[in-house]
Structure 1
Amino acid sequence: MPPRHDIAHLGHVELHTPRLEESVQFCLDFLGLREVGSTDHSVYLRAWDDYEHHTLTLTQHEKPGVARTYLRAAGDDALYRLVKQLEQSGLGRGWTDGEEGYGPTYLFADPDGHEFGVYYESEWFTPTVETVPSLKNQAEAYPTQGVGVRRLDHINFLGRGVQANRDFVRDTLGGMITEQIVLDSGEVAASWSTFTNKGYDVVYTKDALGLSGRLHHIAFATDSRADILRACDIALEQGVYIETGPHKHAIQQTFFLYVYEPGGNRIELCNAGARLVLAPDWKTIDWTEAERSKGQAWGLKTIESFHTYGTPPAE
């Protein structure tokens, strides 16, 4: 089923962190994000080529994890079509004021309990005098610190049941399922879906601990594989913990590096933009247990923590 395109793209994400100041510093020094605002308990940060006000909200909280994921609708009509479908699904939670830079936002949850917001009105980012880009077709000047990630790429949720969440993204939100892992039992263990022409925007992975509402990771896109290799050296110098990589995924063929930010959330740096899904009649790729047991594309075995660790951590 092709995307309905009522959702334009993944907008921004709010993460909880128990170490707000250190998490912010990680985003500035390692990722190369810029701070664009704050409240008493939250800080707004942005990647240099995201056109909206901010990319990431970090909020002080007892435990790490995802607080809310925001999706931008393709227009006012698309927004109200989505709201109608969400209300009919029974998962709608009602309207709220948007975060700074964003208009009225309709809140809802997926079947697993992850909270979302969908909006259309959006304040395009205006750079400061110091960050006006040399090239008028990018949102802000290229950063000179850290990795210099370009934009938010995707989010990967952990869930008790993948199939219900997968079907919700397809049937209610209008996404396209591009790839999935199907176990020998027939159970869907992971699903990759897109609203755009990228290979994926939203991923659901079965929570190995049987928990609901947790986060596996959020991912930021880099310009090239070379940026990810450079990120390894920056991580080494800054004491950033590398969980796995650099390497290449078999599924979606993404070149990757996974690190943990100080609050405990897993962050991926990825170079995924070269592979696009342009076919409107794309056939979902199914991966078997035997195929996944071979590890990543070049033979790297998936480490145990990749299957078991999520935020908030299990008690």
Structure 2
Amino acid sequence: MATELVHDIAHLGHVELLTPTPERSLWFFTEVMGMSVVSTEGDSVYLRTWDDYERHSLVLTAHGSSGIRRTALRASSEEALKRRVAAIEQAGLGIGWTEGRPGIGDTYVFTDPDGHELELYYASEWYTAPEDQQPALKNQPQRYPGKGVSPRRLDHVNFLAAQVGPNGDFVRDVLGARITEQILLEDTERTRYGARWLSFGNKSYDVVYTEDWTGTRGRLHHIAFATDTREDILRAADIMLENGVFIETGPHKHAIQQTFFLYVYEPGGNRIELCNPNTRLILAPDWRTVTWTEAERAKGQAWGLKTIESFHTHGTPPVG
């Protein structure tokens, strides 16, 4: 079935990640990942990847546990923001307006059916690099840092959900995304999805929902950062190895979306993906959702690597 884009949401803006080990997590994102610190405010540090045009890509906040506090989506205009807020309120999942934090204007906070907190905004501060980070090309916001992994941008967020279906429906029907790919499980009692990949534009996906085998609501599966090339993923694996960072799985190639990937745990326990999905764009206006069966997914990833069990159970905050 073809799904139509509304185009009211431009893209994933940034995420706020919680960590019980703020100093070690900051070391990971600055020294191992090679991201830049923009500012510090209270218990939060604002960081950026080198090619995100907005002020920051990640807010790292000290907390009693790991997990994700809020995911920010930028609307495509002020009018688009108002339209999506009206749709969210009609769906009964709105929380309300709040003053913008550094780099963004007023935001509208809401939740998905699973309880993950999100926010919509339009007013945004474009990044101006300091003198020592000025790029050679004026169409690039910041000089390539050449430090650690040096990811190019924040790419996507994967949420764990007690039920994938209602959350995918919400992002499609209320926020205006389209479901590009999905996994349909063999359940004789009801229609049940193992995962759904959703896109707000021409990227193959911006938001993912994966079934949480623990049955818990509101947890994070991972946040992902995109690299320039597949070779950067291989280099990242060596960088993680040399720095004692736990590698969960990869490097390898996903069957779904064909993303080249590496999954690691940052010191706070949150799963981080390094990915290279740059070769796949959804250009067809009448894109038809690709549905994978449970039997097809049992074959593993593109080159036969089996999906490890922790992929369905490890999430943050931890259960128990």
TM-score computed with the length of structure 2 as normaliser: 0.98
Answering whether residue 203 of structure 2 is matched by residue 198 of structure 1, we say yes
Alignment of 1:280-295 (within 5 A): 280-295=285-300
Could you say what secondary structure the match of 1:251 adopts?
coil
Q: Equivalent residue for 2:97? A: 95
Alignment equivalent of 2:227, drawn from 191, 216, 222: 222
Aligned counterpart, 1:113:
115
Q: Which structure 1 segments of 5+ residues have no match?
A: none
Q: Aligned residue for 2:218?
A: 213
SS in 2 for 1:244: strand
Q: Within 2, Cα distance between the matches of 1:3 and 1:212?
A: 27
Q: Residue 64 of structure 1 aligns with which residue? A: 66
2:27 aligned residue: 25
Structure 2 CA distance, aligned partners of 1:233 and 1:161?
36
* Cα distance, 1:37 vs structure 2: 0.4
Residues 1:246 and 2:248 aligned together: no
Q: Aligned with 1:136: secondary structure?
A: coil
The partner residue of 1:42 within 41, 44, 66 is: 44
What code does the residue aligned with 1:87 have? Answer: E
1:150-299 correspondence to structure 2 within 5 Å: 150-185=152-187, 186-299=191-304
1:126 aligns with 2:131: no
Deviation string for 1:202-244 (max 9, x for gaps)?
0000110000000000000000000000011111111111100
Question: What root-mean-square deviation, in Å, do the aligned CA atoms of Structure 1 and Structure 2 show?
Answer: 0.6
Cα distance in 1 for partners of 2:299, 2:10 equals 35
AA in 1 matched with 2:315: G
Tell me, in whole angstroms, the C-alpha distance in 1 between the residues paired with 2:19 and 2:73: 21
Where does the alignment leave 5 or more consecutive residues of structure 2 unmatched?
none
Please give the alpha-carbon distance, in whole angstroms, between the structure 1 residues aligned to 2:183 and 2:92.
28
> What secondary structure is seen at the aligned counterpart in 2 of 1:145?
coil
Stretches of 4+ aligned residues off by more than 4 angstroms: none
Q: Distance in 1 between matches of 2:183 and 2:100?
A: 35
Structure 2: how far apart are the matches of 1:51 and 1:162?
31
Equivalent position of 1:76 in the other structure: 78
- Give SS of 2:251's match: strand
Q: Take 2:203 and 2:183, find their aligned partners in 1: how far apart are those partners?
A: 19
Tell me how far 1:307 sits from its aligned partner: 1.3
Matches within 5 A, 1:140-159: 140-159=142-161
Query: Equivalents in 1 of 2:48, 2:186: separation in Å?
Result: 42
Instruction: Tell me how far 1:144 sits from its aligned partner.
Output: 2.1
